[in-house]
Amino acid sequence: MIKSRTVTLFFLSVAFAVGAAWIANNWISAQQPSVAKQEVVGTPVVVAALDIPYGHTIEKRHLKVVMMPEEVAPSNSYRAVSDLEGKVAKNIMLPDEIIRSERVSDHLEGATLAALIEPNMRAFTVRVDDVVGVGGFLLPGNRVDVIASRASGKSKRVITETVLRDLKVLAVDQTARTDKNEPIVVRAVTLEVTPREAERLAKARGEGSIQLTLRNPTEDEPQQQVATAKPKPKIKRTYSAPPKVIVIKGTEWQSKKVPM
């Protein structure tokens, strides 16, 4: 009798414990917000997983996908890594930077440099030395001005002027990209120019020597001051009436002008 009572009490205790645990678990679950409700539904956006150098062909290891709210995701961004593989970076990209369509270009067969040229632009190569090439500090992606010097007239007086401004360096020698910042002495620099600028650059190179000057990338191009001719002072004209004489004949008189 005692044994049966003990067994009954034991099973009742277990049942009460399980019931209490079940009730407590339901109460805790009701107090905490649902994980499914907390999950934010977003849009996949491709960003850089690591540094992507200028002119570098983009590979899968350079990219990763993050979720962003649909209203925040840029319309010109990419949704899948496969859409970016094989494209060429037209700018330096930093980790976690959203990759936009304007910052990449399609890789053309056998020509990485051609993919970096903007529409309606041309690549023009000039021969340089350690002086013309700014001591070897020119790197792809830099911007430069072109100064031309030539002899003028019989006196052979040297005239120097800036013929082109704010040109993009596409490549140095045969390298369209570099991961180094050390000075590199090169023999040729390829610049991005318009067809008209290419003609001016060829003319300046044929007339004399040219020099490249490195620009600060954050510098804004100053507005050209247009010289306006000062208006000529108006000449005040004064009119003086010709002298007159009075001719008297008897009782009559008449005023006449004296010819000058």
End-to-end CA distance of the chain: 162
Is the distance from CB of 121 to CB of 194 less than 8 angstroms?
yes
Kindly state the percentage of the chain with pLDDT values over 90. Answer: 21
187: nearest Cα among 202, 205, 204, 175: 175
- For 160, the token pair is 């120097």
**Residue 232: both structure tokens together:** 């000529």
Q: What is the pLDDT of residues 45-93, one digit of tens each?
A: 999 999 988 878 899 999 999 999 888 889 899 999 999 998 888 888 8
Burial 123-152 (b: 16+ CB within 10 A, else e): bbebebeeebbbebebbbbbbbbbbbebee
Segments of the chain assigned to CATH 3.90.1210.10: 43-113
Residue pair 190/169 in contact by the 8 Å Cβ criterion: yes
State pLDDT tens for residues 208-248.
888 888 888 777 655 444 444 455 566 656 556 666 666 66
Asked if 58 and 89 count as a contact pair (C-beta separation under 8 A), the reply is yes
Q: Which two tokens stand for residue 245?
A: 């004489």
Cβ atoms within 10 A of the Cβ of 172, count? 23
Q: Hey, what CATH topology would domain 43-113 get?
A: Type Iii Antifreeze Protein Isoform Hplc 12 (3.90.1210)
Within a 13 Å sphere around the CA of 72, how many CA atoms are in the beta-carbon half? 10
